[in-house]
Amino acid sequence: MYAKVIVDVPTGGTDRPFDYYLPEALAENASKGMRVLVPFGQRKLTGFIVDIVSETKLEKVKSVSELLDLTPVLNNELLRLGEWLATETICFQITAFQSMIPAAMRAKAMKKLSLLSKREKLPMNVQALFGQADEVDWAQVPADARLLRDIRNEAEQGHLTMKYALKDQAKHRKVKAVVIQRYETPPATEKQKQALLFMAEQYGEGELVAIQILMKQAAISRSVVNTLIKNDYLQEKEIVIDRNPYTDAEEDGNEEKATLTSDQTDVLAKVKKNITQSQATPMLLHGVTGSGKTEIYLQAIDQLMEAGKEAIVLVPEISLTPQMVERFKKRFGANVAVLHSALSVGERFDEWKKIQEKRVQVAVGARSAVFAPFTNLGLIVIDEEHESSYKQEEYPRYHAREVALWRSRYHDCPVVLGSATPSMESYARAAKGVYELLSLPERVNQKPLPDIELVDMRLEMREGNRSVFSTSLLEKLRDRLKKGEQSVLFLNRRGFSTFVMCRNCGYVGMCPHCEISLTYHQRDGQLKCHYCGHEERLYERCPSCESAHIRYFGTGTQRVEEELQQLLPEARIIRMDNDTTRKKGAHERLLKNFGAGEADILLGTQMIAKGLDFPNITLAGILAADTLLHLPDFRAQERTFQLLTQVSGRAGRDEKAGEVVIQTYNPEHYAIQLAQSHDYLSFFKKELGQRKQAGYPPYYYLTLITFAHPNYATAMKAGEHAGRVLRSNLGEDAIVLGPTPSPIARIKDRYRCQCMVKYKDEPALTELLRELFTYFQKEIQQDQRFITIDRHPNMFM
DNA sequence: AGCACGCCGACT
DNA sequence: GTCGGCGTGCTC
């Protein structure tokens, strides 16, 4: 038998299966979708078996060295999905496969140089390399020509050899556990007796108990256990356990179902119908904030689980706060796997294993959870479907929504796209009848949506208020403090970060390698580039005019916190941003503290915009509503509307009515006006007109091709070539723009230019893009991609 | 991606 | 003459 293997070399020349002989011993256990170790040239590489065949056209083939899995990591469905993904997103097969499995399984073969004979026989320089060790990591061997030649000589004489080991990615977590060894003679002390008795009663003979757990349950200290081990009452062993990242979540799985409103009941019935009838129908669930979308997901999943089916629930990365996860854990207990980026590599592996081994029926997670290896899917939910984090911004540049739709067709199961502010694309599809439209126009608590006040910051400024806070917002914050109610303050930092400017000549600190202003980091007094990491010290005098009037601009959360604390000295403030949530678990802890009423005001960035559900919040404030509005992005209006609506939704979710203050310099802008009146439909119609006029989605599909090169002319020339090819091969309707310099015209000393394709129906485009990709792929410069193709880009940077 | 092969300039 | 620079092309 022969295995067709996709090897782990992401280049154009190797983006196809290679044939390997499967020795009988391996053939028995080998199957499609397993990872293998194969010889490739002079090296050994990992790869995926994509097929097993009985013949090969090749005269001589090498043999598969090793199987790396007992069961396939990619089943037939996922193998096919991977092929589709590579085709659609114009990436290499291996890249697609790797992105579908947890990082812990992306094993790389590691080369080690190993000693075969006495070290004294080796030349001095090679001996020095080994020191006292018998093996050295090949990556540690210096690239010294002389040394490399000597090593090769020694290898030819059989004194040295190359060994290949798989890099251990800390797959399983092991903990110390104990088992009863003897019980007859009672131990010396009372504590020990207690502990042993507890072991015997709770666990009996031969059963392993993790020491941590025993200590907690029997309320004994580690030293008692140690003594028992020392005196042979207990035997110490190691067991493999799942890491449990959500130790705080109550996992009883007994939370009561909520009573549904009649709107909810209707929607649920439609979802259930599509599940039971195995209809691959996409449904768009448009429900206002607080309308109880999650409860519908929960009840629909509850039913399909009883029928033995499985469900995937996707949530945006940043909102993957415990609140959503906790609700699933509370309802379904240990039947849920959680996959997101805040977990360690090992934790993610454990959660993935639970799915693969069919120990759970529900996966809740961010974008990549859409690849959860379920085999009997009954439903895929994408919550907050408009969120941009569902699009992956590196290869493979896929959108989780499109992958979900593919899988739904494969499994004949529905997809539910939920949002209070659906994306233009999705709502347009629903309006056309491509998606089934479901709506929840009212909040479950029957309360109206909160009142929104627009504050014109230009007037504030004219009236002499130079603070970040308007008089009205400050007034309302004081009022909440007095009443003991809570407030959230939202500050959007995007496009508004702290940069340094000279007030005398207008000089702005720029990165010398990228066409972008440097960001000021107060913590270490450094100016940093967010794209290449370049750092420099904050200058005391302007490098251009030598004036001392140089200062940083922009409003960081830290500065806002300081100002707020000065204005309201008695307020207890929790700040949530990248700085304060970097540590593992910090995000959860801060939210928990806020929920427990340990603070009056929650001040934060993007991450507090959604999913936050605390009954005592009665005021939401948006400090600068228009920072998003002026980004060079055709989705700027949509993003602004979505954000304002989401943040507004945080207030008044329970009994007490909520209030919202939006501070803006453009109070007359339609995105802000319509957010104020909670009028999604009018916004959709207005924005749709704009998109039609400008030729953007949902009227046109987009594909962005970016070229990056140290030489500006080379990048432009490539762009011109691509433009010519596209123009001459695409239909009349297609519009090819560019090449033009990218919005960020230089990153890491490489000039960037782009071509944009706008099209409606171009079946040949995918193939054409692949050809361009292959053509330009050869010209890889400095380990960096020369050409980047983004189907359906989110950003044009 | 590596790694070998191969074809040219500068040196023990 | 040899060593070593890096352009080119292949890896089942």
Q: CA-CA distance, A406 to A370, in Å (whole number)?
A: 10
Identify nearest nucleotide to residue A19 by CA to C1′ distance: C12
* Nearest nt (C1') from A40 Cα: C11
Across the range A710-731, mean pLDDT stands at 91
Q: What percent of chain A has pLDDT over 70?
A: 92
The answer to whether residues A661 and A473 touch, using CB atoms and an 8 Å cutoff, is yes
To the question of whether residue A511 is assigned a binding role by annotation, the answer is yes
- Of A168-177, A626-635, A654-663, minimum mean pLDDT range: A168-177
How is A156-176 classified by DSSP, letter by letter? HTTSEEEEEEEPP---SEEEE
Instruction: Report if CB A9 to strand B is under 7 Å.
Output: yes
A94-112 burial string, b = 16+ CB within 10 Å, else e? bbbbbbbbbbbbbbebebb
Q: Which nucleotide is nearest to A10 (CA to C1')?
A: B1
How many Å from the CA of A42 to C1' of C8? Answer: 18
Confidence (pLDDT) at A725: 94
Q: Is A91 annotated as a binding residue?
A: no
The residue lying closest to nucleotide C9, measuring its CA against C1', is A13
CA distance A489 to A474: 11
Q: Does the C-beta of A780 come within 7 A of strand B?
A: yes
A111 touches strand B (CB under 7 A): yes
Cβ contact A332:A362 at 8 Å: yes
Q: Which nucleotide is nearest to A145 (CA to C1')?
A: C4
Q: What is the pLDDT of residue A496?
A: 44
Residues with CB under 7 A from strand C: A 9, 11, 13-14, 18-21, 38-41, 58, 60-62, 145-146, 149
Alpha-carbon torsion (A605, A611, A614, A620), positive or negative: positive
- Residue A503: pLDDT above 60? yes
Whether CB of A10 is under 7 Å from strand B: the answer is yes
For the stretch A275-314, pLDDT in tens is 999 999 999 999 998 899 999 999 999 999 999 999 999 9
Distance in Å, residue A114 CA to nucleotide C4 C1': 27
Nucleotide nearest to A58 (CA to C1'): C12
Nearest nucleotide to the CA of A16, by C1', is C12
Rounded Cα–Cα distance for residues A214 and A358 (Å): 28
A405-414, A513-522, A769-778, range with the lowest pLDDT: A513-522
CA distance linking residue A719 with residue A506, whole number of Å: 34
Segment among A84-93, A316-325, A581-590, A769-778 with least mean pLDDT:
A316-325
A709 or A255: whose pLDDT is higher? Answer: A709
Gyration radius (Cα) of chain A, Å? 30
- Rounded to the nearest 10 degrees, the angle between the axes of helix A262-276 and helix A293-306 is 40
pLDDT digits (tens, 9 = 90+) for A57-71: 998 899 999 999 888
Average pLDDT over residues A494-517: 72
**Least confident among A195-209, A607-621, A707-721, A761-775:** A195-209
Q: How far is the CA of A702 from the C1' of C12 (A)?
A: 38
Nucleotide nearest to A14 (CA to C1'): C11
Considering only residues A710 and A48, tell me which one the structure prediction assigns the higher pLDDT: A48
Domains defined for chain A, CATH in brackets:
2-108 (3.40.1440.60), 109-167 (no CATH), 262-440 (3.40.50.300), 451-498+554-690 (3.40.50.300), 701-791 (3.30.70.600)
CA→C1' distance for A712 and B7 (Å): 31
Nucleotide minimizing C1' to CA distance for residue A56:
C12
Strand B lies under 7 A from the Cβ of residue A265: no
Q: What is the pLDDT of residues A587-646, one digit of tens each?
A: 788 888 998 999 999 998 877 776 677 888 999 999 988 877 877 788 989 999 999 998
A134 CA to C1 C1' in angstroms comes to: 39
Distance A581 CA to C12 C1' (A): 49
A46 CB neighbours strand B below 7 A = no
pLDDT tens sequence across A318-353? 655 667 888 899 999 999 999 987 788 888 999 999
Determine the protein residue whose CA lies at the shortest distance from the C1' of B3.
A42
What is the per-residue pLDDT across A201-246, written as a single tens digit (0 to 9) for each? 777 777 777 887 777 777 778 888 888 788 778 887 777 666 665 5
Highest-confidence segment of A210-214, A504-508, A535-539, A581-585:
A535-539
Number of H helices, E strands in chain A: 23, 33
**What does the block give as tokens for A73?**
């990591």
Q: Is the pLDDT of residue A558 over 90?
A: no
Which pLDDT does position A249 carry in this prediction? 44
Closest residue (Cα, C1') to B1: A9
> What Å value separates CA A147 and C1' B11?
20
pLDDT bin (cut points 50, 70, 90) of residue A547 is: confident
Strand B contact at CB of residue A464, distance < 7 A: no
Would you say the C-beta of A495 is within 7 Å of strand B?
no
The pLDDT of residue A655: 78
Does the pLDDT at position A167 exceed 60? Answer: yes
Verify if strand B has an atom below 7 Å from the CB of A698: no
> Over 70: is that where the pLDDT of A497 sits?
no
CB A287 within 8 A of CB A268: no
3-state secondary structure A628-651: CCCCCCCCHHHHHHHHHHHHHCCC
What's the mean pLDDT in A150-162? 76
The region of weakest confidence among A22-31, A138-147, A665-674, A684-693 is: A138-147
pLDDT at position A523: 67
Is any atom of nucleic acid chain B found less than 7 Å from the CB of residue A11?
yes
Whether the pLDDT of residue A783 is over 80: the answer is no
Please report the pLDDT score of residue A46 as a whole number: 93
Given a cut of 80, is residue A107 above it in pLDDT? Answer: no
Query: Residue A777 CA to nucleotide C9 C1', Å?
Result: 15
pLDDT in tens, A421-471: 999 999 999 999 999 999 999 988 888 889 999 999 989 888 888 888 999
Q: Distance in angstroms, CA of A41 to C1' of C10?
A: 8
Give pTM, 2 decimals: 0.85
Query: Is A753 annotated as ligand-binding?
Result: no
Residue range A565-581: mean pLDDT, rounded:
88
Q: Is the C-beta of residue A42 closer than 7 Å to nucleic acid chain B?
A: yes
Q: Which of A334, A325, A337 is nearest to A297 (CA)?
A: A325
* A495 has a pLDDT exceeding 60: no
Look at A150 and A373; give whichever has higher pLDDT: A373
Q: Which nucleotides of C are covered by protein (CB under 7 A)?
A: 3-5, 10-12
The mean of the pLDDT values for chain A is 87
Q: Which nucleotide is nearest to A111 (CA to C1')?
A: B2
Counted residue by residue, chain A has a size of 797
Q: Output the distance from A17 CA to C10 C1' rounded to whole Å.
A: 15
pLDDT tens figures, A119-155: 888 888 888 888 888 888 776 777 666 777 778 777 7
A43 touches strand B (CB under 7 A): yes
C6 C1' – A712 CA distance, angstroms? 24
Q: Which nucleotide is nearest to A61 (CA to C1')?
A: C12
Angle at A311 between CA A307 and CA A313, to 5 degrees: 150
Exposed, middle or buried: residue A571 (CB in 10 Å: 0-12, 13-18, 19+)?
Answer: middle
Nucleotide nearest to A784 (CA to C1'): B1
Positions of chain B reached by protein Cβ under 7 A? 1-4
pLDDT tens figures, A355-368: 999 999 999 999 99
Is A413 among the annotated ligand-binding positions?
A: no
